[in-house]
Amino acid sequence: MRLLRGSILLITTALLFRCSPDFAGGPGSGSETTNGITVAVVYPDGTPGAGALVRLRQAKYLYDDAVTSKKIDTVTNSSGTILFSGLESGEYTIEINDTRGWAVLISCKVEPDDPDSVLPVNTLRRTSSFSGVVDWDTQQASVSVMVYGLERTAEVDPVTGEFTLADMPEGAYMLRLSSNENPEIRTDIRGIIVSDSLQQKPLSIDLSWPLIQKIVLNTTENGADVHETVTDFPAVIRLSSSNFDFSRVTESNPAIRFLNQHGDTLPYQIELWDSPGATALLWVKIDTVKGNDLTTITILAGKSDITGKSDGAAVFDTGNGFQAVWHLQSGGKGPVFDATVNSFDGTPQGTGLSGVECIIGKGLRFADSAYIKIPNSAEGALSYPEEGTFTLSAWVYTDKIDTLYQEIISKSNFQYGLQMNRYSQWNLYVYKNLTGWTCTDDSAAAGSWYYLSGVRSGKNQFLYVNGVLADSNPVIKVDSIRIDYSHNVMIGRRSDIADRYFSGMMDEVRISDRARSASWIKLCYQNQRKDQKFVIIK
């Protein structure tokens, strides 16, 4: 199938576009489930929206689908009210527009046998038009632009490439651009937001990609609640059938691209891509995540004439401090690959490692004294002096609390490590030559997932639990043994002797030669947790 080629520049009049979590459910501002719906609208001063045009359409309705799609056209009564009854199951949009510049868009979902429902009163808001300039394949004589769920269409001017969609209610939209000569030649653009409270630079998109989708990174208090800007951040992007059309991308190594808000390509790594199962996990290196704000990126997918460029070494760049990153997705039977260019690939030891569903897709369960050895790591990038700078992090789930130690990351008991100690505490320890262990601790518990981050910065030491600083006042536990740099890193066991085996599950183990900031660590936790609110996929 040939595709439209070129780019689109969307320009608003009166309003600009930007993705917002307030519109995460799709077009409109509300959501209800019922077989009968009563809707009332008023103007901002409380006056009923009497005599306003009302259009009910299926959510996937397009202007050229008038024959097969459910549609109702009517007007509000003198009190600004309209009743829809006997609707079939499905998702709908309701546009109420007085045709004088005031409108509202409502989304609703109808389920079988649900009772009738009266929606909260909706307020009419100022409408807007938006315009675009399309550069497309000149072999396509004409191109139409339509809006999903709305009675809107526009023709692209064959000379200038310009188009305008007028009198649009505030809301979130998906556009369809298609050739009038061959409707199979088409491109969807998702995540277009119209709101008078948001501003964004004009949007430029390459239309040669069949699937174009906006992703919003939300650091406001309704999202990750991170107030400082974070740069070069590897964000995990979870795709599923609810937010991505896998029918457009069937390859095991798909051709996709990520772009920042300026149109620059962002590196990415595919941890998992399962088109038949409609699920994917990707890590994308975001150049700038704005603090207490919304950052928009774009995913492009579905081209068949290019190859995928999954590149873990570019995402987890050693120049950005990453010295080892283990996603632990191997299943426990083969090498445990390091995503960085250092290739500190782990070797499973014992038979008690197994792949299980963890926080970010598959991780590993540790049992029966099994562990992971990291060969050739005694010297070099993973060996730090006692007053060096580094960060250790991991997602951990321990099966039991007892009087035994359980190591998470160990570079010998007499250098550094992250563990659960015999006092039922999460513990970051750094050994000081001929002096003892410098320890920061916090209470541990079994049966729950924890995101642990231990930071050493010169003489300062910090332990974070679930993105929150738990201890910054290290305590010295005295010993007179010399520091020992001679041992390899191990995951799930003390590295200098066969002891302190971990019992439970782990995911996403990392070692960096940077002292990660509190904002960085909090953003990692907020992004990676399963109930995250940081990544919003339109």
pLDDT of 295 reads 94
Is there a domain that residue 536 lies in? no
Tell me: do 343 and 488 sit in the same domain: yes
Picking from 315, 344, 372, the residue at the C-terminal end of a domain is 315
Tell me: do 474 and 459 sit in the same domain: yes
440 and 474 Cβ atoms separated by less than 8 Å: yes
Is there a domain that residue 538 lies in? no
C-alpha span between 209 and 190 (Å, rounded): 12
Tell me: do 120 and 238 sit in the same domain: no
Give Cα 104 distance to the centre of its chain.
Answer: 29
Helix (H), strand (E), coil (C) string for 455-488? EEECCEEEEEECCEEEECCCEEEECCCCCCCCCC
Tell me: do 285 and 394 sit in the same domain: no
Helix (H) and strand (E) counts for the chain? 2, 42
Residue 294 in tokens:
């919304």
Q: Is the pLDDT of residue 536 over 90?
A: yes
| Helix %, strand %, coil % of the chain (to 5) | 5, 45, 50
Tell me: do 370 and 224 sit in the same domain: no
User: Coil, helix or strand for 21?
Assistant: helix
Tell me: do 42 and 142 sit in the same domain: yes
Instruction: Give the DSSP H or E segment for 526.
Output: helix 518-528
Instruction: Give the DSSP H or E segment for 519.
Output: helix 518-528
Residue 165 in tokens:
């969609």
Is there a domain that residue 533 lies in? no
C-alpha span between 193 and 166 (Å, rounded): 15
Is there a domain that residue 534 lies in? no
In angstroms, what CA-CA distances link 71 with 31, 41, 74, 84, 111?
Answer: 18, 20, 10, 11, 18
Tell me: do 6 and 154 sit in the same domain: yes
Q: What is the pLDDT of residues 451-474, one digit of tens each?
A: 999 999 999 999 999 999 999 999
User: Tokens 């269409």 — which residue?
Assistant: 153
Q: What is the pLDDT of residues 29-84, one digit of tens each?
A: 444 444 678 999 999 999 999 999 999 999 889 987 755 567 899 999 999 999 98
Is there a domain that residue 35 lies in? yes
Which residue from 282, 289, 281 is spatially nearest to 232, judged by alpha carbons?
A: 289
Domain range holding 375? 320-528
Tell me: do 432 and 303 sit in the same domain: no
Domains in the chain, number: 3
Picking from 156, 189, 208, the residue at the C-terminal end of a domain is 208
Tell me: do 296 and 441 sit in the same domain: no
pTM of this prediction exceeds 0.85 = no
C-alpha span between 26 and 31 (Å, rounded): 10
Q: What is the pLDDT of residues 92-117, one digit of tens each?
A: 999 999 999 999 999 888 877 767 77
Q: Is the pLDDT of residue 528 over 50?
A: yes
Is there a domain that residue 514 lies in? yes
Picking from 290, 315, 340, the residue at the C-terminal end of a domain is 315
Q: Is the pLDDT of residue 19 over 50?
A: no
Q: Across the strands, what pairs with 102?
A: 126
Tell me: do 162 and 293 sit in the same domain: no
Tell me: do 173 and 240 sit in the same domain: no
Report which of residues 24 and 274 the model is more confident about.
274
pLDDT of 20 reads 29
C-alpha span between 526 and 538 (Å, rounded): 19
C-alpha span between 47 and 96 (Å, rounded): 15
Tell me: do 67 and 190 sit in the same domain: yes
Query: CATH number, domain at 396?
Result: 2.60.120.200
Query: CATH number, domain at 156?
Result: 2.60.40.10
